A = this chain, B = another copy of it.
């Protein structure tokens, strides 16, 4: 597909560099840009530059923020004896979306994946261990670290690695429950999920 101008080539190349966007879709997006006013395109471009310049990692939990600490870490109403470990911002947003978790987070920035070349040193693991080490039990209540990582091989590997790194700290380590999703038929659940849901059975309550 030879485009009629170099400017279009460059713009399509950039659009196609986004994940999940092929060259055909990129061309559609670029043609859409051409139907906008110059001011609209400038606002679009400016929003990306401002984002990249203004957003940084929260110094505590690696959530994204415009300040040194994110709004969750700064919220004194939240329970600082609970730290939920997630892979990335989207998982954090999913849990926040439920409105039911009132503890803090720790965003790893990925999971250990030798296939993708992601090792433990590429993740925010040291800072999690530091948080755990510097939080002694208060009134006999330990800090609880909840693993909420993906149920994939990489996620499980990462959980196991974290568990060993945290072994020397005075913390309680838990993991979110695996089981049959709410609204799902048992016959459509995979075997591994069914096994987990039976192993993790709980006293019945209404």
Asked if B50 and A10 make an inter-chain contact with CB atoms under 8 angstroms apart, the answer reads yes
The stretch of A12-20, A154-162, A180-188, A193-201 in contact with B is A12-20
Q: How many copies does the complex hold?
A: 2
Interface centre among A3, A6, A11, A31 (most CB of B within 10 A): A11
A40 to chain B: closest CB distance in Å? Answer: 9
Question: Across the interface, do A14 and B43 meet the contact criterion of CB distance under 8 Å?
Answer: yes
Give a binary string over A135-153; 1 marks a CB under 8 Å from any B CB, 0 the rest. Answer: 0000000000000000000
Of the residues B4, B28, B55, B66, contact of A64 by C-beta under 8 Å: B4
Chain A, interface SS category: helix
Looking at the assembled complex, report how far the CB atom of A20 sits from the nearest CB atom of chain B, in whole angstroms: 7
Inter-chain contact A64/B29, CB cutoff 8 Å:
no
A32 proximity list for chain B (CB < 8 A): 18-19
Given the interface contacts A48-B11, A52-B41, A55-B5, does A28 sit within 8 Å of B20 by beta carbon?
A: yes
Separation of A90 and B34 alpha carbons in the complex (Å): 14
- Selected contact of A52 from candidates B34, B51, B53, CB within 8 Å: B34
- The answer on a CB contact under 8 Å between B55 and A34 is yes
Chain A 40-80 against B: per-residue CB contact (8 Å), 1 yes, 0 no?
Answer: 01111111111111110000000111100011100000000
Which of A83-112 touch B at CB < 8 Å? 88-90, 93, 96-97
Contact B5 A47 (CB under 8 A): no
Q: How far is the CA of A53 from the CA of B8 in the complex (A)?
A: 11
Please provide the 5 A-B residue pairs with the shortest distance between their CB atoms, ordered closest to farther. A45-B45, A41-B52, A11-B51, A14-B47, A7-B54
